[in-house]
Amino acid sequence: MDLTRLTSIFPKERVELLSEALARFQDDITDADPRIPGAAVWPESVEEIRALVCWAGENGVPLTPRVANQNVGGLAIPEAGGVVVDFTRMNRILEFSRDDMYAIIEPGVTQEQLKAYLEEHAPELRIGYSLAPPDTSVLLNCLMDGLTNYSLRIGSMSEAILGLEAVLHDARVIKTGAWGVGPVPYGRPPLPDLTGLFIAWLGTTGIVTRGVLALWPKHPLRERLFILAQDLDATFTMVKRLVRLEICDDLGVLTWPTGRMMLGVERPRIERVEGEPVCFVYLDISAETRSEMDGKIATARRVLAKTGAGGVLTGPLFVDDLVTALPEMVRYSDFPTDLDFLTKSKGGGMTWVGTYGPMSTIASCCQACMDRMVEHGFPPAVVCRAMKTGHFAVLRFLEVFDRNSPEEVARIRKLNLELFDLAIGYGYVQYKPPLSVLPRLHAKMDPETLRTMRELKKMLDPKGIFCPSNLGLID
């Protein structure tokens, strides 16, 4: 395939064909196998995307969109010989409505960029920020069904999508939701919701070029509180009570190895130090008035006192007090932030098994998977989050490792498959699934559901050019 023809679509300075320069696109920080693309392009318009899709379909060349390549799932690793579509130049905030509380953005708009824009133009509005670094794409995080520091209220990031613009395999451009009818893209109802054809499909059904994102009120008062816990069951009992009271914007649980890494310990020991908390619980609370805030904190204290009898739960500690004692914690007082203890570890590798599942089994699933991590010689670093007022939860099992150690990479891969099998037994399903778990995931799926997904993939991508490896739907 003559990839030099790409210069008929893009200016030469926005096409990369040299193999040595393309090597930076071949992998990410996980254990996923590298694949070197044949080219990379930097589009600046929807028309260029349409022309690229036409060319790729005619020539059977796979396309892989990306911005920062930080999804921790190998999902932006291109097909060998394919084309990377780097969206960093399509980074405009195209429209903003204060009254209707939405923004229309391109895929290259980053978390730090949108935050700065809102702080300048509408400080009373906010979005939810993911745990990904500040330079990652807001829209791609939403499309991958990630989570944010507002997920306890809204659920996964896809809930923020009010409408999408996407380029289909034949270069048609469609708009979803109310955007497909009129000029004000206020939401997805009332027409059939085509938005779902692009959410959590991991780039396999088309190329999204614009998204309408919901914004939410940003209350003037905010507190972040921490609770120290000595018992996992008591912790999750407290969490289940708190989420139903609707006093928090965000609520998460970090096990002790995660806390150690946040404080700069590169590879924490597997064993806890005597008296060290099993985990840390953090609460984000916002309010319009001081009296409202005081009432919410008082409610949290009552739940803590009721659940933490015998001293198994202590606190709450306010983040300002924590920062005074541990100044290095200031970077975690707000999001987005760069969790470089994970993304830039000394060994260069980080991976996870990230799952969504029911609150009813969260404690047992968490403990079983922590035990399995210890059995394989890895500290049980876990991040948990309650989602959508407690309708479901997130369990993410984190591992940093040495990418240059074949033995450690092999142990990581074995452990992650076992964690997948364990978690799904408790109803926890891996989100943003990497290629390695797809055969196991397909085996667990309802056969007709899987069949329908394959048929939709074939209909929406008959030439197999959109991220063909992701989701494993092409035989």
The answer to whether residues 265 and 201 belong to one domain is no
What Rg, from alpha-carbon coordinates, does the chain have?
22
Structural domain includes residue 473: no
Which of 63, 88, 113 is at the close of a domain? 88
Distances (CA, A) of 270 to 277, 341, 360, 398: 14, 17, 27, 13
**Mean pLDDT, to the nearest integer, of 119-125?**
97
Using pLDDT thresholds of 50, 70 and 90, give the confidence band for residue 269.
confident
In this prediction, residue 386 carries a pLDDT of 96
* pLDDT tens for each residue of 381-436: 999 999 999 999 999 999 999 999 999 999 999 999 999 999 999 999 999 999 99
Helix H or strand E encompassing 195: none
The answer to whether residues 119 and 209 belong to one domain is yes
The answer to whether residues 352 and 294 belong to one domain is yes
CATH of the domain at 144: 3.30.465.10
* Phi, then psi, of 297 in degrees rounded to 5: -65, -40
- The residues, ordered by sequence, that sit 6+ positions from 313 with a Cβ below 8 Å of its Cβ are 227, 228, 229, 230, 231, 234, 235, 238, 281, 304, 307
CATH of the domain at 55: 3.30.43.10
In this prediction, residue 446 carries a pLDDT of 98
In this prediction, residue 318 carries a pLDDT of 86
* pLDDT tens for each residue of 125-149: 999 998 888 999 999 999 999 999 9
Q: Are strands 83-86 and 63-66 parallel, antiparallel or unpaired?
A: parallel
The answer to whether residues 287 and 327 belong to one domain is yes
Cα–Cα distance measured from residue 301 to residue 349, given in angstroms and rounded to the nearest whole number: 39
Structural domain includes residue 475: no
In this prediction, residue 57 carries a pLDDT of 97
Distances (CA, A) of 404 to 87, 269, 347, 398: 30, 21, 7, 18
**Mean pLDDT, to the nearest integer, of 14-42?**
94
**Mean pLDDT, to the nearest integer, of 46-53?**
98
In this prediction, residue 183 carries a pLDDT of 92
* Phi, then psi, of 268 in degrees rounded to 5: -65, 155
Is residue 407 left, alpha or beta, with left meaning phi > 0 and alpha meaning psi from -120 to 50? Answer: alpha
Among the ranges 70-79, 144-153, 261-270, which has the highest mean pLDDT value? 144-153
* pLDDT tens for each residue of 195-248: 999 999 999 999 999 999 999 999 999 999 999 999 999 999 999 999 999 999
In this prediction, residue 325 carries a pLDDT of 65
* pLDDT tens for each residue of 148-164: 999 999 999 999 999 99
In this prediction, residue 71 carries a pLDDT of 77
* pLDDT tens for each residue of 304-363: 998 887 778 888 888 877 777 667 666 666 777 777 767 777 888 999 999 999 999 999
The answer to whether residues 107 and 207 belong to one domain is yes
Cα–Cα distance measured from residue 160 to residue 145, given in angstroms and rounded to the nearest whole number: 10
Where do we find the tokens 């999204």? 208
| Contact between residue 373 and residue 418 where contact means Cβ atoms under 8 Å apart | no
The answer to whether residues 230 and 352 belong to one domain is yes
- How many domains, the chain? 4
In this prediction, residue 331 carries a pLDDT of 66
Which of 23, 53, 88 is at the close of a domain? 88
The answer to whether residues 70 and 204 belong to one domain is no
- The residues, ordered by sequence, that sit 6+ positions from 300 with a Cβ below 8 Å of its Cβ are 225, 242, 247, 248, 283, 285, 316
Using pLDDT thresholds of 50, 70 and 90, give the confidence band for residue 4.
confident
pTM over 0.85: yes
Lowest mean pLDDT among 153-167, 260-274, 278-292, 393-407: 260-274
Cα–Cα distance measured from residue 329 to residue 340, given in angstroms and rounded to the nearest whole number: 13
The answer to whether residues 353 and 284 belong to one domain is yes
Task: Take residue 189 and report the two structure tokens written for it.
Answer: 């109802």
Q: Which domain holds residue 448?
A: 437-463
In this prediction, residue 383 carries a pLDDT of 95
Using pLDDT thresholds of 50, 70 and 90, give the confidence band for residue 70.
confident
Structural domain includes residue 411: yes
Structural domain includes residue 244: yes
Percent of the chain residues past pLDDT 90, beyond the cut: 81
The answer to whether residues 318 and 177 belong to one domain is no
